[in-house]
Amino acid sequence: MTPDLHWLTAHAAADLLARREVSSRELTEAHLRRIEAVDPQVRAFITVTADRALADAEAADARLARGERGPLLGVPMALKDVLSTAGIATTCGSRMLEGFVPPYDATAVKALAAAGAVLLGKTNMDEFAMGSSTENSAFFPTRNPWDQTRVPGGSSGGSAAAVAAGEAIYALGSDTGGSIRQPAALCGVVGMKPTYGRVSRYGLVAFASSLDQIGPFARDVRDAAAVLDAICGHDPLDSTSAPQEGTSFGAALDGDAAGLRIGVPREYLPDSLDAGVRKAFEEALGVLAAQGAQIDFEVSLPSTEAALAVYYLIAPSEASANLARYDGVKYGYSYREGASMWENMEQTRERGFGAEVKRRIMLGTYALSAGYYDAYYLKAQKVRTVIRQEFEAAFASHDVLCAPVTPTPAFRIGEKTNDPYAMYLNDVFTLPVNIAGLPGISVPSGFVDGLPVGLQIIGKPFDESTVLRAAHAYEEAAGWRVRHPPL
Amino acid sequence: MPLTREEVLHIARLARIGLTEAEVEAYASQLSNIIDHFGTLTAVDTEGVEPTAHTLPLRNVMADDVPGPSLPQAAVLALAPQTEDGYLRVRAVLE
């Protein structure tokens, strides 16, 4: 009997590896074959690192042979191409960093390597993580494994699609306004954004430094918890890394939602919500209620409507400062044919950045410029405080908040590329969580017209354990994870 | 209020991004559309509210002043398009 190795969860794979019923090499080769078979359609990977994967697998097999065990030891995974990998090209989905090979590993990448991870490759993404569909990749769009005419979501669309398509057992992404949770929902996998400060951002190419956070994509909640266990913890190399040490998130998964106080903010169920998404969300709440959770619909976060404006002022402002480093002098693309230093810099940035990145740098530069700073940037920071306070008030009497992840299932490739604002509206339910720095998870919650949708569970700062416990209890009862896309 | 062509060019200059004619036109209309939506902020009363720059209760994180290993100079300079005698080479800034 040969199980389909490419559909295993990490914990199932770890069990097989522990019993020596399969080697990391066999597991890795199965995934490399799967990538070869389906990635020409899905296009989840920018770079496949087959040699590195086989070397990692050999090292993991040696550790297993010495009796070492671990939940991620010998398990193949993928990394969003926003994470710095020593000796392996890191493009950030941009021409600006095409061919850039970093001299060091991100802290989260180091942590996974220490846990015995096998690196299959680097996944596609919207350029500099700016986008909600992976169509802003400078190289090619990724396709949704459930329907190849549709987007996988973004910006971590490659990581979500790789896990959904059986090309990697788990993956890392980054989430600035929903870039893990939204593609996880649209691809039917689990995706989690930890509390701001939980995971070191060292080696994560910066987009919006007060919002960015690294997190896992996985096939179930238990795997997401195991990956979080491995990558969480204080890092002196990131001054915004929280002094909390990592905890054992897996221990929180007792399958019990009884007594859980769930709040449903009414602003997350607008009249414009897709009917199928609403029905799937209500059914998910029914599953949790049947397990003894108390559902409270009398919750309001009144400033939710302003969150989109807060986000599209703060994130582009921070991006305009962070992306000033791409000047064609230190690394990356460099235009050198101009008549002056300034012309070279302007041409480097005109040619190296794609349309959405330039749009956001311009927007941020405008918001920070003389005469607009108080009205836009400072006002947005003050509304950010109000949004945080509203969440705090809601959490005074609730353990978690639940909401849909996205207003609709996956849309068609090309459907929103000509209307930036329509694209931004995709993240309306996820970006308030970044603004407030909270942990949030997307867990598969069924299908609308054959396309997956997700249940979002939002927690108090540093209370990932309760979020994971609720998500796990839902997942166990709902049973969606057994379905795979037709590839 | 739509951004004028001059405003778009001014922002681009501050950001040091060259723009084609077509981009100037596209950004004028797209940025204006996005900025219009920022009006939702005025609905939120922020009288006496302190701004939030980030969500952690951290202030002035200090590291001990202990020298440690850093990246090898050669590895870093190897990434640069032009170097000379261990320096990054750029065109003259003042002409």
Domain regions of chain A by residue span: 5-261+398-482
CB-based contact, A83 to chain B, within 8 Å: no
Quickly state the pLDDT bin for A1 (edges 50, 70, 90). very low
pLDDT digits (tens, 9 = 90+) for A30-39: 999 999 999 9
Question: Nearest to residue A470, comparing CAs of A294, A245, A296, A300?
Answer: A294
* pTM of structure: 0.97
**A5-261+398-482 is classed CATH 3.90.1300.10:** yes
Quickly state the pLDDT bin for A255 (edges 50, 70, 90). confident
ipTM of the complex: 0.95
Q: Which residues of B touch A100 (CB under 8 A)?
A: 79
Decide the pairing of beta strands A294-299 and A118-123. unpaired
**Of A100, A346, A378, Cβ closest to residue B51:** A378
pLDDT digits (tens, 9 = 90+) for A436-467: 999 999 999 999 999 999 999 999 999 999 99
Beta-carbon pairs below 8 A across chains A and B: 162
- Residue A141, pLDDT score: 98
Ordered domains of chain B (ranges, CATH): 1-44 (1.10.20.60)
Q: Round the CA-based radius of gyration of chain A to a whole number and report it.
A: 21
Question: Nearest to residue A267, comparing CAs of A432, A435, A436?
Answer: A432
* Residue B64 burial (C-beta neighbours within 10 Å; 0-12, 13-18, 19+): exposed
Quickly state the pLDDT bin for A244 (edges 50, 70, 90). confident
- Residue A2, pLDDT score: 53
Residues within 8 A of B (CB atoms), A 360-379 only? 361-363, 365-366, 369, 376, 378-379
Are the C-beta atoms of A281 and A404 separated by less than 8 Å? yes
Residues within 8 A of B (CB atoms), A 265-304 only? 303
Q: Which residues of B touch A99 (CB under 8 A)?
A: none
Q: Cα–Cα distance between A459 and A471 in angstroms, integer?
A: 11
Please report the sign of the dihedral spanned by the C-alpha atoms of residue A391, residue A131, residue A156, residue A354: negative
φ, ψ dihedrals at A160, nearest 5°: -65, -45
Which residue does chain A place closest to B92, by CA atoms?
A: A341
Kindly determine whether residue A382 and residue B46, on different chains, have CB atoms separated by under 8 Å. Answer: yes
* B10 to chain A, closest Cα gap in Å: 9
φ, ψ dihedrals at A119, nearest 5°: -90, 115
* Residue A110 burial (C-beta neighbours within 10 Å; 0-12, 13-18, 19+): middle
Token pair 């902020």 is found at B41
Kindly determine whether residue A330 and residue B44, on different chains, have CB atoms separated by under 8 Å. Answer: no
- Residue A3, pLDDT score: 64
